[in-house]
A and B are shown apart, each in its own frame.
Chain A
Amino acid sequence: MTYLYPQIIFSKLFGACLLASLMLLAPLTAQAEYGDVVLNNRAEQSGMRPVIFPHWFHRIRFKCKVCHTEVGFEMRAGANDILMADIIDGKLCGKCHNNKIAWGPQNCHLCHSGLPGLKTGIRGGDSTGGPGKW
């Protein structure tokens, strides 16, 4: 067995305790609806509020495969590069948000409805609060 210096042991113990406390705190602070996605790779840089995409609202109306095959969204928050120009051209969100199936892209504030400063990613409680968070 390798010999560990006391300070290394101490720092590892401290790290473990920190990890434990973070895991305990994480689920308590999560208040978003499960599966909500924040899209802010481009929004705030362009002077708009971040987009909040609610999975719960969409899955009542569409099966997963509609967006994740026919529309072409990758199943990883942040992995899709979404430009307003594409949406206006009828791609990605614009396949539905075209004033025919759902409201059109002129309704900026219905999608761009997030609090300033949010980071791109998937939200909502009920994860392990641990390594499952990416």
Chain B
Amino acid sequence: MVQNLMKGLLALCIGLGIAQGAFPAEPASTEKPAWLPLAQDDLHDPEGPGIKFLQEPAESLSTLPSDVVGNRVNWVRALDKGFIDPRINLYSNKKQKVLDLDVIRRKTGEMNMVRFPHRQHTEWLDCTNCHEWLFKSKAGATKFSMFDVLKGDFCGRCHGAVAFPLTQCNRCHSVPRRVSATPAADAGRK
């Protein structure tokens, strides 16, 4: 019973943590600006001689398609719609190789299944950024759980650090599971 209580508390803690991240106490649009000036970001030294030469986040980020999390920028849309045109190489002639292939990960417990779209990822990244060292190309060959992702591994290498954060559950867990008439069939699918 005590163990069950502890599990419940842990679930509550994670829930609270996620809820706090998903619904910040202060809405971004009202009192607090979405992008703090560098001098107030608790990272840059306001006394430093270089700070006045650096670009302020609001100057560029406010002109890009908006989002509710992260940099408050939908980076995929910014690229798709041509708001930004980032370079793809410096000295090499490597061409952009976009792969339009969705992978569905079905073993997601109670959550919707995960749709991984290669297209959006290969617009930004090279195949070797993820393959084969982190993810095997063979579908289903890489075993990982949400705990690994939350710890900052696999998807969590980028999501939760630079790509949209892990509070955005439904952006990945986006494919509903068809409810079967027989519970046994459902169990098999999970």
- Measured between beta carbons, the chain B residues less than 8 angstroms from A123 are 43
- Please report A residues at the B interface, Cβ cutoff 8 Å: 1, 4, 9, 12-13, 16, 19-20, 23-24, 26-29, 31-36, 38, 49, 52, 54-57, 59-66, 68-71, 75-77, 95-96, 101, 107-116, 118, 122-132, 134
| In-complex Cβ contact of A124 among B70, B87, B88, B94 (8 A) | B70
Chain B interface residues (CB < 8 Å from chain A): 1-3, 6, 9-10, 12-14, 16-18, 20-21, 24-25, 35-36, 40-45, 48-51, 53-55, 57, 60-61, 64, 69-71, 73, 75, 84, 86-92, 94, 123-126, 128-129, 147, 149-152, 156-158, 160-162, 165-167
13 residue pairs bridging A and B, Cβ less than 8 Å apart: A1-B3, A12-B6, A23-B13, A23-B14, A29-B42, A64-B158, A64-B162, A65-B125, A68-B126, A69-B129, A71-B90, A127-B166, A131-B151
User: Which residue of the partner chain B has the closest CB to A68?
Assistant: B129
A27-B20 in contact (CB<8A): yes
Smallest CB gap from B162: residue in A? A35
Given the interface pairs A52-B44, A68-B125, A71-B90, the reply to whether A76 lies near B157 with Cβ below 8 Å is yes
A121 to B172, CA, bound (A): 25
**Cβ-closest 6 pairs across A and B:** A109-B50, A23-B17, A130-B17, A65-B126, A35-B162, A126-B165
Given contacts A12-B6, A131-B147, A132-B152, contact A49 B45 (CB under 8 A): yes
Complex Cα–Cα for A70 and B161 (A):
21
Q: A13-B9, A56-B71, A68-B125 are in contact. Are A129 and B20 (CB under 8 A)?
A: yes
Contacting A122 at CB < 8 Å: which of B2, B13, B70, B161? B161
* Cβ-defined contact, B1 with A1, below 8 A: yes
* A23-B17, A28-B25, A55-B162 given; A70·B45 CB < 8 A: no
> Shortest Cβ distance from B160 into chain A, in angstroms?
5
Cα–Cα, bound, A52→B45 (Å): 10
CB distance from A18 to the nearest CB of B (A): 10
A128 x B125 contact (CB < 8 A):
no
Chain B residues lying within 8 Å of A1, measured Cβ to Cβ, are 1-3
Q: Which of B25, B75, B87, B158 contacts A66 (CB 8 A)?
A: B87
Closest residue of A by beta carbon distance from B60: A60
Q: Which of chain A's residues have a CB closer than 8 A to the CB of B166?
A: 127-128, 132
Known: A23-B13, A61-B87, A132-B152. A75 touches B158 (CB 8 A): yes
A109 B21 Cβ-Cβ under 8 A: no
* Contact yes or no, B84 A34, CB < 8 A: no
A107 to chain B: closest residue by CB? B50
Known: A27-B24, A62-B86, A127-B165. A113 touches B44 (CB 8 A): yes
Known: A31-B42, A52-B44, A132-B152. A113 touches B70 (CB 8 A): no
Inter-chain contact B43/A114, CB cutoff 8 Å: yes
User: How far apart are B10's CB and chain A's nearest CB, in angstroms?
Assistant: 7
Shortest distance between the CB of A12 and any CB in chain B (Å)? 6
